[in-house]
Structure 1
């Protein structure tokens, strides 16, 4: 079984995001970038499936600038076998990402595609579902457990009322939630080995995909600063203050 894992290069989750002075977007100059945390979970799950003998090869793919190769190297250091970089300096929207991934899937013929449920930069939570629709494959989203057996993927997913278990016939799409696993730290020997693992470079045009944006950003602003709280003596005072602020 071959597992394909898309990974995205995003601003590191520990970094405080700054808005550009002209409010045209987020300032990326001299900002630490890293792999999307949900994608780290996807890579970890794919590597664990390989370690269990349920998968033979783990292929990681990233769509982005040349620097996204660093993100692929991180995934290779975690245990993936090879990488594919779809090189573009454009901001690629979820539908275009799904179309590119469809082309990659058709070229690679994986039995399972594991994606993070969303990226922490745009929080779209769309790519996995769109890819499943384009491929007409079964999907299990927000997975908290994945078990492969007899050519099927048993996916336990988190829903509002608790847990739901789905049985998917492979090939299938799975998107990962936070509680699926805890990603490993890449060891120094594995980081050195990852430098020798192959990364193929492609372009969106190789898959016949136009990455021109369909959305335009009007303005980006920082959230308003929260006001400091205050203590009140009793419930009556609390209610009167809430009324004064129009909260009730």
Structure 2
């Protein structure tokens, strides 16, 4: 596996006061196009708030005025900045997280490394291996119809710990409803939980053919600024879904 250190990949996290409301945090995530915020009091990082943690509560018990300090689920348990990418992938998969704090030898926060940065670092490895989409895609993604409710989608995403639902019509991908879509449309507007997915899904879905080489898919994800892609057969029918986690899982087996 191509040898890089996570310290080279880590990005400075977006900061939010721990007393900010979940609505304010969601607005910042959407505006800044990020999925994780560092919650601080003064100069001290109390923990991290992820998009998934917010979305898991959207249709259950989340008061829009709740301060984020009440739902922080992680403290800043970090990985060393000189850790190799292969070991970082292992830790990320073991922890079932998409974000890892990176710290220096004194334990001070250097930045965050996400699944996106780790996947980007793998393009050369996949070029050497000549792996195509069929080898790594998940053939059974969560699929709902355009008329199914937002509440139904959020329930499926929470139950299966997934970041999206594919909206399908006649066997083809008509749209996608992601955690970002949920934050943008539903936070503070619980009445929209009953809306059909067609009202809030994103589209058109970014797709790749089943025989596309994964190293090209990684570059395409970076170009399109997406974390997941629908995989299609030659006739346009949905074949599966590729997420950044799927790429990391395959890379772990390669290593």
Question: TM-score normalised to the size of structure 1?
Answer: 0.26
Which structure has the larger Rg over C-alpha atoms? 1
Select the structure with the greater relative contact order (CA < 8 A; seq sep ≥ 6).
Answer: 1
User: Which structure carries more helix by proportion?
Assistant: 2
Question: TM-score normalised to the size of structure 2?
Answer: 0.26
